[in-house]
Structure 1
Amino acid sequence: MCPCRVNASYLSGWRIWRHSANPPSEDGELSGSMGLFYNFSVCLFSALGSFLFGDSGIIGSVVSKQFDLFQTYFHNPGPSIIGAIVSTFAGGCFFGAAAAGSLATRIGRKRTIQLGALVAILGCSLQTGARNVSYLIVGRLIAGLAIGCLSMVVPLYQSEISPPEIRGFLTGLTQFMISIGFLVANWVGYGCQFLRTDAQWRVALGIQIFPAALLFLGMFVLPYSPRWLVEKGRNDEAFAIVQRLHGTKDNEEFIALEFAEMKEQIRYEQENYSTQFSDLWSTKPMLRRTLTGMAVQICTQFTGINVSSYFQPTLYAALGLSGSKILMITGINGALGAVVTIIFIYFFLDRVGRKSPLILGSFGMAISLAVEAAINAKWGGVDSTNHPAQTAGVAFIIIFSSLFFSTSFGPVSWVYQSEIFPMRVRAIGTSVCTCANWASNVLISQVSPIGMARLQYRFYIVFVVTNIVNAFIVLFFFPETKGKTLEEMDAVFGDQVIPHALETKRTNNIGVEDEKSRESDV
């Protein structure tokens, strides 16, 4: 008898009911809690690559006026130099993300993560030992290559090892670890400002080396992506990993069908399609995938989040705040962002889907920034002493980033771009989307210091407008992907050509020999 479609899964006692026409049944439950705990552990550890992204946010504290010894050592760099120091990192990220697509296909997701960690160690070491601005910028560029690579391949790896019912949660750990990285960076920045030697900024930059080294070593014991193994013909290894990740003997039939679906889809793609870069726009459904994936990342940057992340101390200074209080508030904001992110991805993302949070978050961020602009226009300025206005200004910066961004584009962008492409171009497609993120990041990081200096409070209005535009882009052009397997995305985007084993409860595209092999594996 064929099993029912999986209706529930467990992770440490948490049950998520699927929206299915079939009622829950005992046979249909994914009851391998130990397998799911291992799945969670793998996704969380691999997200150290995302932690490095967040930890790199230490540069916001380092280039602030509170790091006076940094300012003295580098001869008080102006806005254009500060913009170059910040944006060069994003430029490196662009090229790192571009290279990672090919690497992830050839050497695998696991080895690409390790390579990214090694490059991160080099780049962070160069920053720590910088003797001049050029030295620092080169270190930032190399570290950017690593973070660009990791920002692309980590959510890709997580999505390919996650069961569909909790893929939003597990892939959303990317943004959670980014938040934790920024949290650590903010409090390290707060503490290091009190050092009265060059260690003030060298220690802050050097701390990034440790998570990179841990990630490189730890990945040796983590599994390969089973979908990548199937693509390389290593089916026995892939099936063993799927069993370990997604359950126990209680859901053997589900695991067998899930693996068959992977194998059938990848086999069909290998036999009927190429894996060229041009495949990303060769058909209307593929073009829609590509444009949607790029759009979610470009929209993320045009929320204005990285103005807040990289230049948060400058925003507080514009309200009249000064001294150590600025970095303390920055640290509090980081802590709140991490808490809100984990609550959102754990309890809500796989229930409410992807579109609704993006739309609501966009309008929420637009309102927050509009209020922030009004506060700065009437009561802002470095000489301001209006404490109620300062409190309100700080509150709306925190609401913007820790509430609305952390429950929308923050986690959803990484989940969405990594789940919409077919296997044959998933690495390339994810790479292109991540490049779009970093290209936008370069633009915004470079112009933001100049924009804040010249436009002052009016600079907020730019992002009020872009957030409203983001909401309508999502509303009219983004399909919902909640609860679908990666193989079922062809139905979402309108180019399904073979039945799915998890829907038909039987294999559809593998021969007799493959079927016998699968049954013997079970």
Structure 2
Amino acid sequence: MGLFYNIFIASFVSIGSFLFGGIISSVLTFGRFQGYFGFDEASNLAGAVVSTFTGGCFFGAMGAGWMNDRIGRKRSIQIGAAFALWGCAMQAGANNFACLLIGRIVAGLAIGILSMTVPLYNTEIAPPKIRGFLVGLAQQLIGIGFIVANWVGYGSQYLDSNTQWRMPLGLQLVPAALLLIGTQFLPYSPRWLLEVGRDEEARQVVYQLHGVKTLDVSEAAEEEFLKMHDSIKAELLTRSRNVADLFATRAMRRRTLVACGVQIFGQFTGINVINYFGPQMYQTLGLDAGKTLLVQGIYGAVGPITNFFFIIFILDRVGRKKPLLLGSGINIVTFSALSAIVASFPPGEGTTNLVAQRAGIAMIFLTSIFFSLSFGPVSWVLASEVFPTGVRSMGTSLATCCNWAFNVLFSQVSPIAMKNIGWKFYILFVCLNAFDFIVILLFFPETKGKTLEDMAVVFGDEVNARQVLDEHKYADDLSQKHEIEHV
């Protein structure tokens, strides 16, 4: 019962990303959409439609750190869902370009909040042995969202009215509403409850997550709670809630650089260039508009299937570091091949080579497969699990901001770069993935199977929480004794 409950919670809170990222790649290709707002998918305005969303994500993630400390993970998820309803309604009902962009920004704020809070929440409720699986479920739901979005987009292209683009944008309201209402019935994070002094409620949540109804029949649940309690209470004695704390010691600097690095490296894989601008990439390989949406629909199914088997059977067994090395290494090969194919058979010159075309599509598909075997789930797991409780929300917020900052950059420049420099743009990702590989190999630790409280050992700043608490209690007792003697 405990395991099923953990899986249900992690799956449910992850539905916030369902549809939000992938639908725009199809909508941008619709003639009705382009005609209504007066641009094509290769224009600067197309980049603005994508980058305003990701810009909103950046600021949403930035504010979510403070929000998570103040009102908790559960309420932050609900606020993200409320923003999502607002933003998606504006997009679906937009009657001018300004309204569309404001809707994109507001929806971006929502996803920024959710993209930071959901992995954090899942990390804090997950048992150490299956933490990779539970946090990886967020990536799984993102992938399923892309599948649905791509096929909704493929079907919507045949509609002969503005419903062609309003309907797929409006469908995003459904998961947002489910999340807003359903999260009310989920538990608070027990670690946040301990931070704010609701200790007995935290104990009840821990037992609930273990599938135990009474508080006197599970030694494992009580042991986990006590270890969690001592560690968090010790951290609170020295906590300052200052961003500078993320860089205060050598161990904290390493934590911060690993968390921010893995999120940035996830963007260096080039996966979101494919997700947002896949149809344009397929057109550079010679496919017509109808076939590009069909291939994009098939492409969207590949990653989630791979991710599903990876988080269940592999991630918590092989750890975090090896998959990251595999992913960056494979991306060097795939983008090298893709750039060579596009350079050898440039579009618009009357050359149609079906073998080269299929090879190029295969490279794009392989990029998705190996992203789902590496950075897709691992980046969210690693970024949220390396920090101590006292700065976890702040650190996760900073790491997620790094993700969205580079997402904004690539979403803005990608359509321009693909139009103006073609295959040379793909060489950039060869170099970036080579850089990823070297940094991960030399500086990233392995964190699989460790409790969140054991990360101090991994990063070299081991603290005996019980000793700290005892010393603090001794100091309080000594102070009280001196006050009595003085009286």
- Same fold, TM-score > 0.5, yes or no: yes
1:46 to 13, 19, 32: 13
Corresponding residue of 1:309 = 275
Aligned residue type for 1:76: F
The residue that corresponds to 1:75 in the other structure is 38
**Are 1:100 and 2:64 counterparts?**
yes
Q: Which residue of 1 aligns with 2:336?
A: 370
Q: Which residue of 1 aligns with 2:425?
A: 459
When you count helix as a share of all residues, which structure comes out higher?
Answer: 2
Counterpart contact for 2:283–2:289, Cα < 8 Å: no
Q: CA deviation at 1:283?
A: 1.1
Alignment of 1:316-335 (within 5 A): 316-335=282-301
1:511 Cα shift? 7.6
How far apart in 2 are the matches of 1:272 and 1:106? 18
AA aligned opposite 1:176: Q
Counterpart selection for 1:166 from 115, 127, 130: 130
Identical-pair percentage: 53
What is the CA-CA distance between 1:88 and the residue it aligns to?
0.7
1:63 counterpart = 2:28: yes
Following superposition, the deviation at residue 477 of structure 1 comes to: 1.1
Deviating above 6 A after TM superposition, structure 1's stretches of 4 or more consecutive aligned residues are: 507-512
List alignment gaps of at least 5 residues for structure 2.
Answer: 475-487
Matched residue type, 2:3: L
For the Cα contact (< 8 Å) 1:113–1:150, is it kept in 2?
A: yes
Whether 1:397 and 2:364 are equivalent positions in the alignment is yes
Structure 1 position 174, deviation (Å): 1.0
- Give the one of 142, 153, 169 matched to 1:178: 142
Partner residue in 2 for 1:443: 409
Counterpart of 2:441 in structure 1 is 475
- 1:235 has 2:192 as partner: no
Which deviations, in whole Å up to 9, do the C-alpha atoms of 1:152-209 show, x marking residues without a partner?
0000000000000000000001111111111111111101011010011111111111
* Conserved? CA contact 2:39–2:46, under 8 Å: no
Contact 2:339 2:423 in 1 (8 A): yes
1-side partners of 2:427 and 2:86: how far apart? 39
Q: How does 1:71-220 map to 2 (within 5 A)?
A: 71-77=34-40, 79-220=43-184
The verdict on how the C-alpha distance between 1:358 and 1:508 changes in structure 2, with shifts beyond 3 A counting, is: farther
Q: Does 2:252 match 1:289?
A: no
Q: CA deviation at 1:35?
A: 0.7
1:385 match = 352
In 2, Cα distance between equivalents of 1:440 and 1:264: 38
Deviation at 1:270, TM superposition (A): 1.0
Q: What TM-score, normalized by structure 1, do the two folds share?
A: 0.87
What root-mean-square deviation, in Å, do the aligned CA atoms of Structure 1 and Structure 2 show?
1.8
* 3-state SS of 1:453 partner: helix
Aligned mates of 1:391, 1:266 — CA distance in 2: 54
User: What amino acid maps onto 1:425 in structure 2?
Assistant: V
Indicate the residue corresponding to 2:190 in structure 1.
226
Query: What TM-score results when the alignment is normalised by the length of structure 2?
Result: 0.93
C-alpha deviations, 1:410-441, integer Å up to 9, x for none?
Answer: 11000001101111111011000000001111
Is 1:260 aligned to residue 226 of structure 2?
yes
Distance (whole Å) between structure 2 residues aligned to residue 207 and residue 387 of structure 1: 36
The residue identity in structure 2 corresponding to 1:40 is I
Distance 1:68 1:509 in 2: 70
Partner deviation per Cα, 1:260-317 (whole Å, 9 max, x = no partner) = 1110011101113322221111111111111111111111111111110100000101
Shift of 1:251: 7.5
Structure 1 stretches lacking a partner, 5+ long: 1-33, 502-506, 513-522
C-alpha change, 1:282 and 1:140, in structure 2 (3 Å) is same
The one-letter amino acid of 1:72's match is G
* 1:242–1:255 CA contact under 8 A, matched in 2: yes
Q: Distance in 2 between matches of 1:391 and 1:449?
A: 22
| 1:380 Cα deviation after fit | 3.8
Q: CA deviation at 1:379?
A: 2.3
Secondary structure at 1:49 match in 2: helix
Would you say the 8 A contact 1:247–1:255 is kept in 2? no
1:160 and 1:508 map into 2 onto residues whose CA distance is 25
Correspondence for 1:26: none
Does the 8 Å contact 1:290/1:433 carry over to 2?
A: yes
